Structure 1
Amino acid sequence: MLRRVFTLRWLGTLLLAALWSVAAYHLGHWQYDRHLAKVERNERIDAHYGAAPVPLTGVLAATPLPLAAEWTHVTATGTYGEQRLVVRGRTVDGEVGYEVLAPFRVDGAIVVVDRGWISQGQRGASDVPVVAPPPAGEVTLTGWVRVGEQSRGKASTPGQVASINLADISAAIGEPVLGGYVILERDSAPAGVGLTPTVLGKPDKGLGPHQAYAYQWWMTMPLGFVLIYYGLRRERDADEDALPGAPARPAKPKKVRIWDEEDA
């Protein structure tokens, strides 16, 4: 069998098996890294979500929010701006709708506030329902800071964005914004007339199947080599059977079905 391995055909097969093994190893680590990222996210949520709120200006700055500070419970007093934006294609409990964004000016800076979710209009994504404006005048709010999302690279419809990408939102409202956004918990004043956004619920802490997928990838690493081993044995047996005077291999016994009363 060793002599057979060092033929051109089987060496090529060994190379393919080795490439598969390396690919499965890295794919397993990719899935396991995703699992660890969710574990770390849950640790941040547990540490920050239920804590007493701290001043927003002590957490957010012009630079991007550090991931370790995500989900920090914050409070701020300021005024809402006049611009209105919605993030399209956001799903809550299986229903597609929008998340409503508003700029909030605090201590001379602007932070993007996610005021909550509304369902999609009856005429499709372009038919955005009329949303109640945020409270006028000075408002005190509480919420949780989040890291901005990646841009989806899509052209924005006026009044809409494809994701909560802070650079895209800054371009849409025409002013610089702080390096993170706030998911609203509550305002200190009632909103105006119109459809009031539903405040987003608690963050999902599910870990998903990534750890299981990682183990599955790693378990398939030796698969190619196992198949090669059985392929070599089968080829060896076939060659031995073809030799002159080779004894015939005993035939496998046929399975015989036993008659029972159910056949009666």
Structure 2
Amino acid sequence: MTRVFRRLLTPRWLGALAIAVLYAVGAYHLGHWQYGRHEFKVERNALLDAHYRADPVPLTDVLSDRPVDRAADDWTRVSATGTYAGSQLLVRNRPNNSVFGYEVLAPLELADGRTVVVDRGWVANSERGAAVVPDVPQPPAGEVTVVGWVRPLETTQDKTLPTGQVASISLPDVEQAWGRDVLDGYVVLDTERTPDGTAAPRPDRLADPDRSLGPHQAYAFQWWMSMPVGLLLIWLGIRRELRDEDPDRPLKPKKVRIWDEEDY
């Protein structure tokens, strides 16, 4: 063991040791990062369990002029009654069940005059190409009661798009497109009914939120388990180097090939 330690103190192996230690530190932090992603998804699923199938609460109890509290109010099921007032907006390049198309936004004006963004669903790209806007079901006229889930608004991508289209569901984009202030959050539509109880035609429902935990926990354990690999390789390398230098080590018998035996 003393010989191994002495060889480790040589410049060559000290450099290898430094690399191994740096790798171990990096693997430790990468493992914690992956485990943090795992814990985030666990907390997200707990939030979905509490909110997604719950009885709806009044929309104005959750949405206001302040951003949605992601830790407490994201995916809260809400209801609101109002009137669709304004043209619909199409959000480009949005996937739904692994197919890309448009999400359809409509401004719902509440009785108190405030406006909330309602994501009514999804439509596929036009068969005539991206330059042609697809047919989109129009929102019902008159009073309508919507039930859906609260989501925080997104960050603007600051892109110039054709009239009636936006790149993200962001506060500046929708306010500029509609020319009116909106509450800081939006509602993913679940149901939409008029006073007589009928449901109007609507875009396709958005897929349920992803509840998979992914491989993050496994990746975290893999990173942590790999931390001593560099040190183990150094130990094995030094042992082999010392063994090869030992003059008293037994020599391996020379292998004789079959065709060499036939020469005798």
- Superposition TM-score, scaled by structure 1 size: 0.85
Paired position in structure 2 for 1:89: 93
Distance 1:7 1:184, change over 3 A: same
Distance 1:40 1:248, change over 3 A: closer
Paired position in structure 2 for 1:147: 152
Paired position in structure 2 for 1:251: 252
Q: What RMSD over aligned residues (CA atoms) do the two structures have, in Å?
A: 2.2
Paired position in structure 2 for 1:132: 137
Distance 1:124 1:238, change over 3 A: farther
1:225 maps to 2:231: yes
Secondary structure, aligned partner of 1:139: strand
Secondary structure, aligned partner of 1:101: strand
Distance 1:16 1:188, change over 3 A: same
Shift of 1:253: 9.4
- The one-letter code of the counterpart of 1:202 is D
Secondary structure, aligned partner of 1:221: coil
Distance 1:143 1:221, change over 3 A: same
Instruction: Show the 5 A alignment for 1:39-188.
Output: 39-67=42-70, 68-106=72-110, 107-152=112-157, 154-188=159-193
8 Å contact from structure 2 (residues 86, 178) kept in 1: no
8 Å contact from structure 1 (residues 102, 114) kept in 2: yes
8 Å contact from structure 2 (residues 85, 107) kept in 1: yes
Secondary structure, aligned partner of 1:211: helix
Shift of 1:153: 5.1
C-alpha deviations, 1:166-201, integer Å up to 9, x for none?
A: 333333333332121100011113447xxx301223
1:17 maps to 2:23: no
- The one-letter code of the counterpart of 2:54 is A
8 Å contact from structure 1 (residues 88, 125) kept in 2: no
- The one-letter code of the counterpart of 1:232 is I
8 Å contact from structure 2 (residues 92, 101) kept in 1: yes
Structure 2 unmatched ranges of 5 or more: 256-264
Shift of 1:122: 1.5
**Partner Cα distance (1:252, 1:220) in 2:** 36
**Partner Cα distance (1:124, 1:215) in 2:** 46
Structure 1 unmatched ranges of 5 or more: 241-245, 255-264
Distance 1:145 1:232, change over 3 A: same
Distance 1:3 1:212, change over 3 A: same
Distance 1:32 1:183, change over 3 A: same
1:3 maps to 2:6: yes
Shift of 1:100: 0.7
Shift of 1:250: 4.0
- Superposition TM-score, scaled by structure 2 size: 0.85
Secondary structure, aligned partner of 1:69: coil
Percent identity between the aligned chains? 53
